[in-house]
Structure 1
Amino acid sequence: MSTESSAAGLDIVLLATFLEVVDTGGFARAAEQLALTAPAISGHIKRLEQALGTRLLLRTTRSFQLTPAGEMLYTYARNIVNLEREVRARLRGAPIAERLRIGASEDFTGAWLPRVLQMFRRAHPAATVELKVGVTADLVHDLEHGHFDIVFGKQCTRVPDNGTLLWEEELVWAFADGIVFDRDGEVSVAAFPEPCVYREAAIAALTRAGKSWRLVFESSSMAGCLSAAHAGFAVAPIARSQLRGGLRVLDKADGMPTLPNVKFYAFANTTSVAARELIAAVEKSGRQTGFSLPARFNRPAEPRLPTRS
């Protein structure tokens, strides 16, 4: 494809149109959202491709597919458009109207993250927050393909280069308090579906220790795994701060191997002020209480967003 001008800059309007087409999944829907005609949307995409000298979308009569160049541009375009909006908002002294697409593992959403998000919305009333719960590995994969701005998740070993460590704590074996545990018998395990770092760490530790084990309970909900442990039905590998009443930690005295530490991260595709403040708030809560809920009100204290001078 020939270039219209190799020295031409990126047009914010064309980038915003490109993002809308990808986000809405079609030219017609993007036209509705932007109050333009479908031919105008097509014209924007064509001009953008000419300016960049490469094809961004492979179109058929009913759908389109991002090219490798389109995938790359999508991630950069999101940052460029957000930064442009942020600059204009700050120059006007207006609230930042930013859209943050967040992915989070179930651990985060089952504890204090909803309250952190509520606090964030009060600090940034013009911001739009979209949250999807999933497995960390899947969420990070989608982040790398431009489908999220921030992902909150857990890792025990290798993490992507763009991960920000929020806090770290030990994994423990949770079992019902008051129920006798057979230290010499087969270990019944309750865990998340694959891929899950809790599950992987538990199986690896049991295997190294030569312990016989069997997965008897699988749930995508932390509450489900904790319930299985609370009933004495199975042992659940969890972060220490996720322990609740009625549960105790099994250790070497119970014949159980030591588990590694688990690290909780924020992975980001954006460096906007709103994103940085949200990550800082989550980090503060995590370092203060982990996933524990303080006794007072049985809920975590709200972290304050960093103040700006």
Structure 2
Amino acid sequence: MPPILIANEYLMDIDALRSFIAFVDTGSFTRAAKQIFRTQGAVSMQMKKLEEETGRCLFTKDGRNLSLTDDGRKLVSYARRILALHDEALGEFSLTAGMPPLRIGCPDDYAQEIFPDLVTMLLEEYPHLQIRLLCDNSSGLRQALDQGKLDLAILTRAPDKEEGYLLRHDHGIWVHAGFPELQHRPVLPLVLYEADCKFHSSAVDGLEKQGQRFQVLCASSSATAIKSLLRRGIGIGALASSTVDAGLEACTRSDLPTLPMVDIVLAVAPTPHPLVGTSMARKLSQKMLSQRAS
């Protein structure tokens, strides 16, 4: 979309702002370029144009990495609001009839509680909306977003990142399923999510630093499989507190490594679904947070 010319001044165009937010959400020009189906050079040119239009330096180099300046962080808020209003306007004039299914990605551990809440809210807005679910870990879902295979994704992000729209603050917890003796074994038997899970890496790194012997008996992306093994007394696990359900309880051993805080967020594809874009994601975020607060 070309920039709009008014009174001989260029205004920031929607495509450039989408590229900017794609960089903010992914932290990488490479991933941003993949998401919006442009070359990295084209994205760089868009960012240079944004700096010219704002008259401010938006990026700064931190070693080999690129990060936002104070002015860049200010632009994030404006860009999200502009995109939300743009997408809301398009959605207002769209009809559900003939709309493609909404493709949502969700890690298996959030599919039991967070995903149903999200679907309920979506169907309140669009009763005839068709939804397709892809379960994968957060890394796999980010790749699917980059490849245009998803419209929305429920992801785990680090608390210091700006990716997506916040749905819930959470933290990790050590659990067993009625077998408290397992936490006191000389060699801890562990049933964990896969290695790219923050709780897996924190658990393993923490135990190694303590000199505590352990054995990872099973690592899986399936919450169902992990909880089934825990209920069989195979080992202890490290889960998000919001996913601890009936039959699971917190370990009482006080010297187990502290597991990290995480944010659960809703990420939107750079080319959003006609009905569910950034405006709706922000609305869903607000509803989910207020629901938790009440």
> Which runs of structure 2 are paired with 1:66-215 in the superposition (5 Å)?
71-72=37-38, 87=89, 90=92, 98-99=99-100, 100-156=102-158, 159=161, 161-177=162-178, 179-183=180-184, 185-215=186-216
Work out whether 1:277 is the aligned partner of 2:256.
no
Aligned-pair CA distance for 1:105:
1.0
TM-score by length of 2: 0.60
Aligned-pair CA distance for 1:180:
2.0
RMSD over aligned CA atoms reads: 4.0
- In 2, Cα distance between equivalents of 1:245 and 1:95: 38
Q: Is the 8 A contact 1:113 1:282 kept in 2?
A: no
TM-score by length of 1: 0.57
Gaps of 5+ in 1: 1-5, 10-66, 77-82, 291-302, 304-309
Q: Which residue of 2 aligns with 1:258?
A: 258
Change (3 A) 1:124 1:251: same
- In 1, Cα distance between equivalents of 2:282 and 2:127: 17
Change (3 A) 1:218 1:273: same
State the Cα deviation string for residues 75-101 of structure 1 (Å, max 9, x = none): x9xxxxxx9997577358x55865432
Asked which structure has the greater RCO (Cα within 8 Å, sep 6+), the reply is 2
Aligned residues between the structures = 219
Change (3 A) 1:110 1:209: same
Change (3 A) 1:71 1:177: same
Change (3 A) 1:89 1:247: closer
Which ranges of 4 or more aligned residues in structure 1 deviate by more than 6 Å? 6-9, 67-70, 83-86
Gaps of 5+ in 2: 5-32, 44-84
Q: Which residue of 2 aligns with 1:267?
A: 267
